[in-house]
Amino acid sequence: MKKTEHPIFLKSIEYIRSQIGLTGLHSVQQSVLERIIHSSGDFSIQSDLRFSSNACEDAIHALKMGAKILTDTYMAEAAVSSVAKRTLNTNVKCILEMAPEFLDSSSKTRSAIGMQKMWLDMVKKEDFSEGPIVVIGSAPSALMTLLDLIQEGIERPSVIIGMPVGFIGVSESKTRLLNSDCSHIVLEGSKGGASLAAATVNALLRAADS
């Protein structure tokens, strides 16, 4: 059941459009851009947003076919779940469900361990009728782990939304994703975060449900 957008949100989008002018993006890409500008309050993000060829189409097709959404944080999971429920009723899971509560002397992060365990568990259960949409807004280590698995020949996601925020390992993980053959939507540089990654997938959910 579709929900009408709040009038204040619609006025915000109208204002954003008046400021960014013609972008050359197609309608779904434009929607992604508008929503992440709305979530961040940052117009400069427009110059950092990158789409691989057919990334939005790949995501919409996968979502319509019942693909899961995997997030790297519970914050992103919460931000996506309400939209997922009222659009396609998509299953949303956080990789931290499979991460250890405490780390031992391992150099890996909880996010990296959670990603590896959840991805391999899905492969083992043959839970890949449609590759999941992977939403990374915080953990570059989770993104790197996923790219390592893909490089080893493990099943790949339909689309990776690569928007980890920060400085350590962030640019490197995004560059690796940009240079991969994975379908992706990326914010270059240090910008990103759970809210922007969630805004991106929420725009895709709404487009898939339209």
| pLDDT, tens only, 124-171 | 987 778 999 999 999 999 999 999 999 999 999 999 999 999 999 999
Residues with a catalytic annotation lie at 38
Instruction: Assess if residue 15 is contained within a domain.
Output: no
Q: According to the model, what pLDDT value does residue 105 have?
A: 61
Q: Give the domain range for residue 122.
A: 48-208
Task: Pull the structure tokens for residue 127.
Answer: 């839970």
DSSP letter for 132, please: P
Instruction: Assess if residue 3 is contained within a domain.
Output: no
What residue ranges of the chain have pLDDT lower than 70? 1-4, 105-106
Q: How far apart are CA 15 and CA 135, in angstroms?
A: 27
**Element holding 83 (H helix, E strand):** helix 74-86
CATH number at residue 91: 3.40.50.10230
Q: According to the model, what pLDDT value does residue 101 have?
A: 83
Q: According to the model, what pLDDT value does residue 54 have?
A: 97
Q: According to the model, what pLDDT value does residue 1 have?
A: 36
Instruction: Assess if residue 18 is contained within a domain.
Output: no
Instruction: Assess if residue 190 is contained within a domain.
Output: yes
Instruction: Assess if residue 10 is contained within a domain.
Output: no
End-to-end CA separation in angstroms for the chain: 10
The answer to whether 40 and 196 have CB atoms below 8 angstroms apart is yes
Instruction: Assess if residue 4 is contained within a domain.
Output: no
95 three-class SS: helix
Instruction: Assess if residue 30 is contained within a domain.
Output: no
Half-sphere exposure of 35 (CA within 13 A, CB side): 20
In which residue are the tokens 């807004």 written?
Answer: 137
Task: Pull the structure tokens for residue 148.
Answer: 């390592």
DSSP letter for 201, please: H
Q: How far apart are CA 2 and CA 189, in angstroms?
A: 35
Instruction: Assess if residue 39 is contained within a domain.
Output: no
Q: According to the model, what pLDDT value does residue 128 have?
A: 76
The total of structural domains in the chain comes to: 1
